Amino acid sequence: MVLDRYILREHLRPFLLSLSVLLLILMLDTILEMMDLLISKGVPFFVVGQIALFSLAWMLALAVPMAVLVSTLMAFGRLSADGEVLAMWAGGVSPYRMLLAPLVASATLTVGMVEFNDRVLPEANHRVKVLLAAVHRKRPALSLKGREGTFVDFPGYSLLFRKVKGEKLYGVTLYGRGKEGITTVLKAKWGELNISPDGETLTVTLHQGEVHRMDPKEPERYVRTNFSKYVLRISGLRMGLRLEEVGRGDREMSIGMLKEKIKELKAKAKKAESRISEIALKLGIRGETTEEILSRARAISRGKLGGMLAQLEVLKSYRRSINRYEVELHKKYSIPAACIVFVLVGMPLGIRVRRGGLGVGFGLSVGFFVLYWAFLIGGEELADRMLVSPWAMMWAPDLLIGALGIYLLLRMGAK
C-alpha cells in the first residue's frame, strides 16, 4: 500500500503539469477564433467567454489520455534514473507489481472519462453550437460545420452535404419527405442558405444539379429534371436560440441518444430495402438480397430503374449515417480506454529512457499520440465510407499500442 501511494505521488505532479500545458496548446487555436468573434464580429465578451468555457470539454477529453502517458513516462523515468526501480527489483518487487497502482488509477480514470464523454461532453458541444448559431444567424452555413455527412432535418426536408466552405455547401442532397416517405430528391454541386429575419423561413438556393421525383405509392413512376439554379423555401423553422429547439449532431449526443439514433436509421434503411424489393417485383426482378436485386437489374434500362436508383441513394445515405453514428459511439469508449493503454506502454518506455524531464516525456507522448490519432482519424474516414467496420477501426489504435505495451512489459519481466 505504501509502495502504491509512493508510485502514484510520482505520477500526480507530471500529470497535472502536462495536462495544463496540453490544454494551453489546444486552446491556442480556440483563442484566435474567440478573438475573431470578439473583435471582427463584435460578439459580446460574455458570449465569447461561454463559448471558450464550453470548448474546454473536448480539449479535456483529448488531453487526459496524453497527460497519462506523459506522467507515466516521467514517473518511471525518474524512478529508474535514481536507481529506485533496480532497488525494488532487488527487493523482490516485480515490474508487474509496480504497474498495479498506475493501472488501477488509469482504469478508474477511464471509467470517469467515459461518464464525462457521455454526460458532459455532448452537452458542452451542444451549448457551443447553440451560442454559435446565434452568432452565425446571418451566415447559416457556418453553423453547419461539423455536421458534414449527417442528416440535418428541417420541416418536410432532410439536408445532407459533403463540405462547408465559407458560406457555401458542397455536394448537397436534399430529401423531400411526404406522408408516404421520400417523394423528392434534389442533388446539387453546391448551394447557399439564407434565414429570414424572423427566423421562420430558410431559403435554399441550389446550383448545377438535378431533381428526382417519385410517387411512393407507384415507385415505377419516376421523373428526373436537370437545373442550373433551384430556389426552395422551407417555412416553420422556429430558429430560436433555446437549447431544446436546436438539433443535435453526432458529437452532441449521449451514448443513449446515439444508440437510439442508430436504431432509428437502421429501421429506415430496412424500409428503403423493402421499397427496393417492391420496385424490383413490379419490374420482374427477383433476388434474396438488395445486392442480388441490383446485380440482376443492370440489364434493365436506366429509365425504368429510376425509382429503384433513387431509393438506393437513400439507402446508401442511411448506411453512411449509421456508420458515422457508430464511429462516434465507439469513440466515447475507445479514447478513454487509451488511459490504460498508455500506462501499459509508458512504464517500460519510461524505465528505458530514464531521466529525461518534461521534454523527453512530451516528445515520446506526442509521437505516440500522433500515431494514435492518425489511426483514429484514418479509421474514422474509412468507416464513414463504409469500407471497414466502425468498431474495428475505433479500437484498432488501442489494441495495437496495447499489444506493444504488453510485449515490452513481457520482455522487461523476462530480463
Amino acid 352: pLDDT: 81
Per-residue pLDDT tens digits for 227-262: 999 998 888 765 544 444 567 888 999 999 999 999
Whether 6 is covered by a domain: the verdict is yes
What confidence tier does 78 reach under pLDDT thresholds 50, 70, 90? confident
Query: pLDDT of 97-127, one tens digit each?
Result: 899 999 999 999 999 999 999 999 999 999 9
The verdict on 79 and 182 lying in the same domain is no
Cα–Cα distance for residue pair 351/349, rounded to 1 Å: 5
Higher-confidence position of 171 and 179: 171
In a domain, 249, yes or no: no
Domain assignment present for 64:
yes
End residue of a domain, out of 238, 266, 299: 238
**Alpha carbon 219 to chain centroid distance?**
35
Are 115 and 20 found together in one domain? yes
Q: Which residue has the higher pLDDT, 358 or 24?
A: 24
Rounded Cα distance, 28 and 45, in Å: 18
Model confidence over 257-278: pLDDT tens digits?
A: 999 999 999 999 888 888 877 7
Distance CA 410, CA 183 (A): 61
Q: Which of 176-185, 202-211, 264-273, 372-381 has the lowest mean pLDDT?
A: 176-185
Same domain, 97 and 156: no
Q: With bands split at pLDDT 50, 70 and 90, how would you rate the model's confidence at 144?
A: confident
Q: What is the pLDDT at residue 102?
A: 95
User: What is the reported pLDDT for 294?
Assistant: 58
Cα–Cα dist 120/137, whole Å: 26
User: Among residues 281, 298, 322, which one ends one of the domains?
Assistant: 322
Q: Percent of the chain having pLDDT more than 70?
A: 81
- 109 and 14, same structural domain? yes
Please tell me the total count of domains within the chain: 3
- In whole angstroms, give the CA distance from residue 359 to residue 17: 12
Dump strand ranges (E) for 132-283. 152-154, 157-160, 163-165, 168-178, 181-195, 201-215, 218-235
Q: Is-above-0.75 flag for pTM?
A: no
β-sheet bridge partners, residue 210: 187, 226
Contacts of 123 (CB under 8 A, 6+ apart): 252
Whether residue 131 sits in one domain with residue 9:
yes
Between 285 and 97, residue with greater pLDDT: 97
Residue 396 lies in a domain: yes
Q: For the residues 44-73, what does the mean pLDDT come to?
A: 92
Q: Give 288's DSSP letter.
A: S
Residue 64 has a pLDDT of 96
Q: What pLDDT, in 10s, does the model give residues 330-368?
A: 999 999 999 999 999 999 988 887 655 556 666 777 788
Residue 328 lies in a domain: no
Check whether residue 11 and residue 118 sit in a common domain: yes
Domain span including residue 264: 254-322
What is the spatial distance between Cα 204 and Cα 356, in angstroms, rounded to a whole number? Answer: 58
32-58 average pLDDT score: 84
Q: Greater confidence, 280 or 301?
A: 280
More confident position, 408 or 223? 408
**Over residues 305-316, mean pLDDT:** 73
Q: Does residue 245 fall inside a structural domain?
A: no
Range with lowest mean pLDDT among 90-99, 137-146, 219-228, 270-279 = 137-146
Please report whether residue 243 resides in a domain: no
Residues 132 and 160 in one domain: no
More confident residue, 281 or 103: 103
**Is residue 247 situated within a structural domain?**
no
Q: Residue with C-alpha cell 509508458?
A: 346
Residues 17 and 53 in one domain: yes
